[in-house]
């Protein structure tokens, strides 16, 4: 009996840790893209007289905004994943068609990964604009 309780406790604690790790993972793309956008605006405000390739800075800013949007949509799809998983558990029936929780999970992973890749590309554009 105690072995079963210990396994259940371990399962619950592992699940709680997994949720916390996933939340941090969902926040990272939003934080890095938002931080990069703020850093660009602060940099431009500080160095008004420096000759920069403003086209690249403008393009990088658009990429960071795109990364913010994708990260935000990833958060929405993460919520939908949890909601569908809850509904499937309560109804004791797996989801069907496009509305399975797995599909929402895959969309979340894609959106968050794309947000990070967009951050990388926007960063490259921003750094390349610093060459005189």
**Tens digit of each residue's pLDDT (9 = 90 or more) over 61-105:** 999 999 999 999 999 999 999 999 888 888 888 878 888 889 999
- Report the predicted TM-score, pTM, of the whole model to 2 decimal places: 0.81
> How far is C-alpha 113 from the chain's CA centre?
7
Q: How many domains would you assign to the chain?
A: 1
Instruction: Give the per-residue pLDDT at 98.
Output: 82
Instruction: Give the per-residue pLDDT at 2.
Output: 64
Q: What are phi and psi of 52, to 5 degrees?
A: -115, 160
Instruction: Give the per-residue pLDDT at 49.
Output: 65
Measuring CA to CA, how many Å separate 48 from each of 72, 83, 120, 127? 32, 48, 25, 17
**Domain extent at residue 20:** 2-128
Average pLDDT over residues 93-119: 91
Instruction: Give the per-residue pLDDT at 108.
Output: 95
User: At residue 51, does pLDDT exceed 90?
Assistant: no
Whole-angstrom Cα distance, residue 15 to residue 2?
20
């Amino acid at each position: 009996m105690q072995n079963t309780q210990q396994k259940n406790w371990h399962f619950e604690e592992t699940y709680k840790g997994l949720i916390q790790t996933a939340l941090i993972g969902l926040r990272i793309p939003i934080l890095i893209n938002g931080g990069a956008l703020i850093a660009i605006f602060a940099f431009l405000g500080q160095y008004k007289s420096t000759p920069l390739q403003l086209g690249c800075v403008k393009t990088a800013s658009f990429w960071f905004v795109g990364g913010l949007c994708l990260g935000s949509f990833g958060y929405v799809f993460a919520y939908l994943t949890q909601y569908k998983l809850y509904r499937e558990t309560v109804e004791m029936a797996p989801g069907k068609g496009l509305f399975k929780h797995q599909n929402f999970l895959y969309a979340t992973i894609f959106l968050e990964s794309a947000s990070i890749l967009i951050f990388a590309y926007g960063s490259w554009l921003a750094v390349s604009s610093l060459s005189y």
